[in-house]
Structure 1
C-alpha cells in the first residue's frame, strides 16, 4: 500500500508540474511614449519633439497629410502643421483653431488658466501648410473644417480618449471655431470664441453703420477730422509713402497713389479695432511727418503692401468668396476723391482668378447658431470695429447654453482677462460646468 500511495503521489505531482508548464505566458503591456503614440497615428508624416514651453511637460510639432479636396482625391494631398502641448491625459484639451498660421507655441488663455493640454492647428494654406501649387477653389470653409476634425479625432484616439475638448479661436480663428462647430457639432464638447465677425456679405454694410455710431459723436468727429486732415495733406503724405517704399522695398499692386487713399480710408476701422487713444490723434497745424507717422502707426502697411498681401492671400480669398469682409464708404470724402463708389478689395484676389461671393456658408452658420448650436461662449469688445458684425444670439440661446459677453469700450484685444474679476468668475463658472458635465 505504501508503494502504491507513493506511486500515485508522484503522478499527481507530475500532473501539477505539467499544468503549470502549459499555462499561457502573460505578456506585459507595452507602454508607448507620447512620441510613439503620435508617430503611430494615421495620416501623420512626421513628429518632432521640441523644447517645452509654458506649463507643458512635452511639446511636439506634428505634420498631418491632408486631402487637398475632400470631394476629389485625384487632387492629391498637402501637409498641415499642428503643435501639441502635452501635459496630462486626464486634464482638458484646449484646441486652438487658427484662422491664419500658428503665431506662438505658448499656451493660450484657456490652456494657461486650466494648466491643460493644448492642440494648435494651423489653417490650411497659411505658412507652409499648403501644397506647392494652390488650387484656390479648394480653399473652402468646409474643407478646412474637415482638416480640423481629422486632426482632433486622431489625437483624441491616440492620447486623450476620456477627457473633454474645448475649441477656441481669436478673430478669424473665432470664425474657424464657429464653422467647425457647424459642420462637426460633436467633435468637441464646447467652444470659446473671441472677437470674431459673422459677415453676411462681401462688403457687409453693418460695418458702415457701426462706424457712424461707435463711441461718442465727439470722438467720431475727431477721427473724421483726422482723415480730412490726411486728405488735405495728401500730396505730402504721398511723397512720404514713396520715400518709405524705397527705404523698405515696398510696392502696391494698385500703385502707391491708390495705396495712400486706401490707408486713409482704413484709418477709422483700424482706429476703433485696436483701441487707439483719442488723445493721440494729431490736430491743428501739425507737420505732414506727424500726420503720416500717426496714420501708419494706426493702419500700418501690411494690409495693402504687395508682399504682405501675398502672405495674406488665403485670408483675402476666404473673405472675398465665403467669409466676407468690408469696404470703404467714399461719400464722406467726395470732395477729395471725386466719387461715391465703395472702395472694395477685389484687387486682392490671386492673380488671374476671381470668384463670386457665396452667401450660403455664413448663413448656414447663422442658422446653426440660431436653432441648433449649444455650449458656446462669445467674447467681444464694444468699440472693436469687428463687433459691427458680431454674433447675435436668439432668445432661447441661454437654454442651449450659448453666451455672449461684451467688454464696455473694449477693442480687438479683448480677452476673458480683460473683464472685471466678478465677470471673469462668471465666465469661468460656465466653462467649468461644461468641463464637469457627464
Structure 2
C-alpha cells in the first residue's frame, strides 16, 4: 500500500477488427532484416502501429509509438485502445530488452540494457496514463488483469520481433518485475529470458508472515524499537499533530473525500505506512536520525516523519490518472501486506483501513481473487526457465519473493539494499556470475 486515453479505434465491422488484431504477428514475420534507415517504414507497416515521433538517444533513433490493442483479448472484436510505447533501436541483430515499468510509460535506460548493449522497447501498462480505453470501456476495471496485460505484451513482441531479430529479454522493477514475470508465465515462447528486480510475490494474500518476520528482523533491535516508538507516538499525539496535517493538506490542495474519506483517516493511513516507507527508500544509515519519541517535541516528530516515510494519500493522486489503477490491481489480484501493527493496537481508530480499497474511489474498488497469482507462483517454481530475480535484503517488498525453478533460473539478494537493489551492488562473485548468465541468455560476449 505504498505510493507508489486515446479514443478507441473504430473498425469497419467484426471481420475487419479481428483481422487487424490477428494480423500483427503475421505482419511482423513478413519483415525481413530491416536496415536502420528503414525502421520507421517497417514500423508503419505493422497493423495498428503508429509512429508518433522520431528522436535520437545517444546517437541511435528513438521512436515514440502507439499500438492498437483489444480492450478484451478474449473478445477482440468488441473494441480497442491505443497503448503507448517507445523503441530505442541500435541494430537489428543486437538483443532487445523489453521493459515493463508496470505503471505509466517509463523510458529510462534499464540496468539490463546497459549490461548487454541492447535495443530497448518500453511499454505503458494498460489502464495507466494515456493507455486507457476511452468512454465506458475505460471505466470497466474488470479488464485490468495480469492476463490482459500479458496478452498486450505478447501481441507487441510478436509484432516487433521481425524488426528486432536478436534475443529478447524481459525486465522490470517492482511492479514492472512482477508484470514481466506474468508475461513469461502466460506466454513463455515470447521472451528468451526474464530478469526481474525487487518483484514482490504475494502468492497467498492471507499469509503475511513473511512481512511480519521482516519487520522483526530488519536493521538492528535499537533501530526497530526507535521506529516503532516514533510511529506509535504519531498516533498517541494525534490531537496535536492532526491540525498540522490538515494545514499541510490545505496548503497543498489535498482532498480525501473520494477515497479515504476524512483527514483523520488519511492521517492514520500515512502513519501506518511510515516504517515500511523508511526501509523501502532508506537504509540502516538513516537510523540515527530517528527522534527519541519520549523527548521529541511535536514539531520535531512531525517534521522528521514527513522526511522519513510519512506519505500522504490524497484524492488527486489515487484516481484513474494517478496510482489508482495499481491499487485496483492490488485489491483484486496482486494482494497486499495486511500488517498486524501489534504495537499500535490501542492507539488506532480505524482497524480495517489498511487495505487497497481504502484508497480507491468507490467505482474502482473490487474483490480479491487469488487464483491467477497463485498459479504464476506455482509455474515459476516448477516450469519457469531462464528467469532471474534480484532482491534487496532490507527492502520490505522483497520479504515475499519468487522462488525460481531449477531450470537455468536464479535468485540473488543484494546485502543491505532497499527497493533500489541493483546488479552492480551484488558481491563481486555473485555479480560476475549473474552478468555472465545474462550475457549467455542474450548471446553476447
Q: Could you say whether these structures have the same fold, taking a TM-score greater than 0.5 normalized by the shorter chain as the test?
A: yes
Report the counterpart of residue 323 of structure 1 in structure 2: 334
Does 2:75 align with 1:68? no
Query: Could you say what secondary structure the match of 1:52 adopts?
Result: strand
Query: Could you say what secondary structure the match of 2:161 adopts?
Result: helix
- CA apart distance, 1:408: 1.4
Report the counterpart of residue 383 of structure 2 in structure 1: 372
- CA apart distance, 1:316: 0.7
State the distance in 1 between where 2:180 and 2:439 align: 19
Pick closer, same or farther for the CA change 1:341–1:350 going to 2, 3 Å. closer
- Is the CA contact (8 Å cut-off) linking 1:331 and 1:339 kept in structure 2? no
State the distance in 1 between where 2:430 and 2:112 align: 15
Report the counterpart of residue 99 of structure 2 in structure 1: 96
- TM-score, normalization by structure 1: 0.86
- Is the CA contact (8 Å cut-off) linking 1:193 and 1:379 kept in structure 2? yes
Report the counterpart of residue 16 of structure 1 in structure 2: none
State the distance in 1 between where 2:133 and 2:239 align: 43
Report the counterpart of residue 126 of structure 2 in structure 1: 124
- Is the CA contact (8 Å cut-off) linking 1:330 and 1:342 kept in structure 2? no
Does 2:304 align with 1:294? yes
Pick closer, same or farther for the CA change 1:321–1:121 going to 2, 3 Å. same
- CA apart distance, 1:166: 0.4
- The 5-angstrom pairing of residues 18-417 of structure 1 reads 33-44=38-49, 46-53=50-57, 55=58, 57-103=60-106, 105-133=107-135, 134=138, 135-157=140-162, 159-161=163-165, 163-202=166-205, 204-206=207-209, 207-252=211-256, 253=259, 254-276=261-283, 277-283=286-292, 284-301=294-311, 304-310=313-319, 311-337=322-348, 343-352=354-363, 354-393=365-404, 397-398=405-406, 400-417=407-424
- Is the CA contact (8 Å cut-off) linking 1:329 and 1:343 kept in structure 2? no
State the distance in 2 between where 1:286 and 1:352 align: 42
Query: Could you say what secondary structure the match of 2:133 adopts?
Result: coil
State the distance in 1 between where 2:190 and 2:52 align: 26
- CA apart distance, 1:366: 1.0
- CA apart distance, 1:222: 1.5
**Deviation string for 1:4-24 (max 9, x for gaps)?**
xxxxxxxxxxxxxxxxxxxxx
- Is the CA contact (8 Å cut-off) linking 2:328 and 2:364 kept in structure 1? no
* Structure 2 stretches lacking a partner, 5+ long: 1-32
State the distance in 1 between where 2:237 and 2:425 align: 38
Pick closer, same or farther for the CA change 1:267–1:300 going to 2, 3 Å. closer
- Is the CA contact (8 Å cut-off) linking 2:357 and 2:366 kept in structure 1? no
State the distance in 2 between where 1:269 and 1:138 align: 30
Report the counterpart of residue 8 of structure 1 in structure 2: none
Pick closer, same or farther for the CA change 1:242–1:349 going to 2, 3 Å. closer
State the distance in 1 between where 2:69 and 2:34 align: 30
State the distance in 2 between where 1:235 and 1:427 align: 52
- CA apart distance, 1:255: 1.1
Query: Could you say what secondary structure the match of 1:413 adopts?
Result: coil
What is the aligned residue count?
399
- CA apart distance, 1:343: 2.9
**Deviation string for 1:23-68 (max 9, x for gaps)?**
xxxxxx9976111111111221x20333322x35100011001000
Query: Could you say what secondary structure the match of 2:273 adopts?
Result: helix
- CA apart distance, 1:202: 4.5
State the distance in 2 between where 1:115 and 1:97 align: 18
State the distance in 2 between where 1:353 and 1:128 align: 17
- CA apart distance, 1:204: 4.9
- Is the CA contact (8 Å cut-off) linking 1:328 and 1:342 kept in structure 2? no
Structure 1 window deviating more from structure 2 (428-437 vs 346-355): it is 346-355
Pick closer, same or farther for the CA change 1:204–1:314 going to 2, 3 Å. farther
Structure 1 window deviating more from structure 2 (148-157 vs 274-283): it is 274-283
Match of 1:431 among 416, 427, 438: 438
- Is the CA contact (8 Å cut-off) linking 1:219 and 1:278 kept in structure 2? yes
Query: Could you say what secondary structure the match of 2:402 adopts?
Result: coil
- CA apart distance, 1:301: 3.7
- Is the CA contact (8 Å cut-off) linking 2:193 and 2:386 kept in structure 1? yes
Query: Could you say what secondary structure the match of 1:69 adopts?
Result: coil
